[in-house]
Homo-oligomer: A and B are copies of this chain.
Amino acid sequence: MISIVFIGFGNVNQHLCNALHKSTNASVIQIFNKSVKSVSSEVSNIPFTTNISEIKQADVYIIGIPDDAIAAVSERLPFRDRLVVHTSGSVAMNTLSTHNRKGVFYPLQTFSKARSVAFKVIPICIEAEHASDLLLLQHLGHILSEEVLEIPSEARAKLHLAAVFVNNFVNHLYHISEALLSEHQLDFGLLHPLIAETARKIETLTPSEAQTGPAKRNDKKTIENHLHLLEGSEYSALYQLLTNSIRDQFK
C-alpha cells in the first residue's frame, strides 16, 4: 500500500487523486493546497490542509502546481529525505529541492475539469534519483496505467514539446477552422467526422502515409485559391508556412 500526499490541487493532481483514491493499492492520506479548494464529493473524505507545516508523513509527495513554482515549493517543504515528485512534462527533475529524494511522475495526457480520463492507456513517464524510488513510482504508475516508462528529463522535455504540437497546436488549428466556418454560418460540427478520422488514421498509418491534400500534391492552383480566401486574415502566414513545410517534406 503506497501512501500519498498531493501538494497542490490543480487539474492534474485532481485527476490523479480521483483515480488513486479508488485503488486498494494506494492511500491518499492528505491534500495540501495553499488556498482552500472545493473538492469533489468523491475525495471529500481526504484530509485537506492549507498549512504547509501540517503535511503528514507519506511514501510519496506528488507536486502538481505551475511549473515556475515547483522549485520554491519543494524548497519550502518542512521535511527531509523523503520522495518528492513533480508531474510536469517540461521541468527537469533537478529543479526539485535537494532537501528530499527527487522524482518525476508525468502522465502524458490533456486534463480538463469537465472530462474524466481513462488512465489505463495513458503513458506515465517516471524518473527518480534512486533505484528504490524508481521501483515505487513504477508500482504507483501501474496502479493507474498499463504503460509506465522510465524517461530521463532531457527526453521528457522533447516528449512534452511533441505533445504541445499534437495537443495545443492541433487544438488551435481546430479553433482556426471554427473561425473560418463561422464566416459562412457553417457549424463546426460538420468537421467532427473528419477530425475524428484524421486522429484515428495515424493509429494504423504513419503520418507520412496518412498525408493528403494540396500541399502534398503541390497543387498550386488550390493553394493559390486558399491564399486568396485568406487575404487579409491573420491565418494567411500560418497557411503558407504549414504548406511549405509539407511541400518540403514530400519534394
Q: Interface 1/0s, chain A 165-196, versus B by CB < 8 A?
A: 11111111111111011011010101111111
Asked if residues A123 and B190 are in contact (CB atoms below 8 Å), the reply is: yes
Q: Say yes or no for A59: interface residue by CB 8 A criterion.
A: no
Nearest chain-B residue to A114 (Cβ)? B205
Report which A residues bind B (CB closer than 8 A).
Answer: 66-68, 90, 108-110, 112, 114-115, 117, 121-123, 147, 149, 151, 154-155, 157-159, 161-178, 180-181, 183-184, 186, 188, 190-208, 210-217, 219, 221-222, 225-226, 229-230, 234-235, 237-239, 241-242, 245-246, 248-249
List chain B residues, Cβ under 8 A from A165. 173-174, 176-177, 180, 239
Name the residue on B nearest A159 (C-beta): B186
User: Would you list the 3 A-B pairs with minimal beta carbon distance, nearest first?
Assistant: A168-B213, A199-B199, A175-B207
Contact A173 B175 (CB under 8 A): no
13 contacts between A and B (CB under 8 A): A67-B219, A108-B190, A161-B180, A162-B180, A165-B239, A166-B174, A166-B195, A170-B199, A172-B246, A172-B249, A174-B202, A195-B202, A196-B203
**Number of copies of this chain that the complex holds:** 2
A110, A169, A178, A213 pick with most chain B CB within 10 angstroms: A169
**Once the chains bind, are A198 and B170 in contact (CB under 8 Å)?**
yes
> A241 and B246: CB pair below 8 A?
no
Complex: chain B residue closest to A228, CB-CB: B157
